[in-house]
């Protein structure tokens, strides 16, 4: 019996004739902070999108909980924080952050917005907030259902130091509560917290590092 939640088996993804992900195999258990590190263009976002099931691999298999990633359409299973927040601009910060919970009649954690420094903005339309605030709203939306797998693309990219601390705290809380967080980042502050570091170079996985 395996406890691995996310598995990639010899995954290659082509853009035209170019392999932007090459022969990647890995197995990730729940409740870990796993960081995908690598230069710009090394394939980090593509790999997250493959696990999110937004795209199918050109070759190989990606599974979440034993099922093909492309067949998983449940935000409580797999939830993605994209590089661009992609909020509904006319909805408020709270409505955006709570959307996955509202859609299934669940009551969101009342502390979630406050933990991400968003409580004072809860009733403001998302289009009237800063990029950093939008990113934290999108992070709240990603975490609101306590997903089994949270895929986070550069979650601190638009944050100042004070708000980076809030993002890191939300991340570690989610992992302690059982979420597998797979984070694409260059941010050393997240890398320092990682359980596992997966270095990507030109779409290829270098040797996995057990960070803690
Ligand atoms: N829609 C697309 N069409 C063609 N090529 C693409 C497309 N999206 C990404 N690529 C290419 O795929 C490769 C991997 O891109 P990807 O966005 O996965 O890298 P990344 O490591 O996430 O980079 P960054 O840190 O800059 O976000 C790059 O060479 C990029 O130019």
Q: CATH number, domain at 126?
A: 3.40.50.300
Residue 22 lies in a domain: yes
Write the residue with the smallest CA distance to atom 27 of ligand 1: 40
Task: State which residues form the domain around 160.
Answer: 6-210
Ligand 1 within 6 A of 210 CB?
no
CA of 186 to the centre of ligand 1 (A): 15
Ligand 1 within 6 A of 98 CB?
no
Judge whether 51 and 149 are in contact, CB under 8 Å. Answer: yes
Distance CA 149, CA 52 (A): 9
CA of 57 to the centre of ligand 1 (A): 14
Residue 198 lies in a domain: yes
Nearest atom in ligand 1 to 21's CA: 14
Residue 133 lies in a domain: yes
Residue 1 lies in a domain: no
ipTM above 0.85, yes or no: yes
Write the residue with the smallest CA distance to atom 5 of ligand 1: 15
Three-class secondary structure of residue 131 per DSSP: helix
Going by their DSSP bridges, the two strands 149-153 and 180-184 should be labelled as: parallel
CA–CA–CA angle 150, 31, 27 (5° rounding)? 80
Q: What is the pLDDT of residues 82-138, one digit of tens each?
A: 999 999 999 999 999 999 999 999 999 989 999 999 999 999 999 999 999 999 999
Residue 132 lies in a domain: yes
Ligand 1 within 6 A of 43 CB?
yes
Residue 191 lies in a domain: yes
Domain count across the chain:
1
Helices (H), 80-191: 93-103, 112-115, 131-143, 161-176, 188-191
Residue 180 lies in a domain: yes
Q: What is the pLDDT of residues 123-181, one digit of tens each?
A: 999 999 999 999 999 999 999 999 999 999 999 999 999 999 999 999 999 999 999 99
Residue 83 lies in a domain: yes
């Amino acid at each position: 019996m395996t406890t691995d939640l996310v598995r990639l088996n010899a995954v290659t993804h082509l853009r035209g004739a170019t392999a932007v992900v090459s022969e990647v195999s890995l197995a990730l258990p729940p409740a870990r902070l796993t960081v995908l590190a690598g230069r710009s263009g090394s394939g980090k976002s593509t790999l997250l999108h493959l696990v999110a099931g937004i795209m199918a691999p050109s070759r190989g298999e990606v599974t979440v909980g034993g099922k093909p990633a492309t067949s998983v359409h449940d935000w409580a299973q797999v939830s993605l924080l994209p590089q661009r927040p992609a909020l509904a601009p006319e909805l408020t910060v709270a409505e955006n952050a709570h959307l996955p919970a509202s859609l299934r009649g669940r009551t969101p954690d009342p502390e979630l917005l406050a933990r991400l420094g968003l409580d004072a903005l809860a009733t403001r339309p998302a289009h009237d907030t800063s990029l950093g605030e939008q990113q934290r709203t999108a992070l709240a939306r990603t975490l609101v259902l306590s997903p089994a797998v949270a895929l986070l693309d550069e979650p601190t990219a638009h944050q100042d130091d004070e708000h980076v601390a809030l993002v890191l705290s939300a991340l570690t809380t989610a992992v302690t509560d059982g979420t597998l967080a797979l984070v694409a980042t260059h941010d050393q502050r997240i890398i320092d917290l990682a359980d596992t570091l997966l270095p990507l170079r030109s779409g290829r996985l270098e040797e996995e590092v057990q960070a803690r």
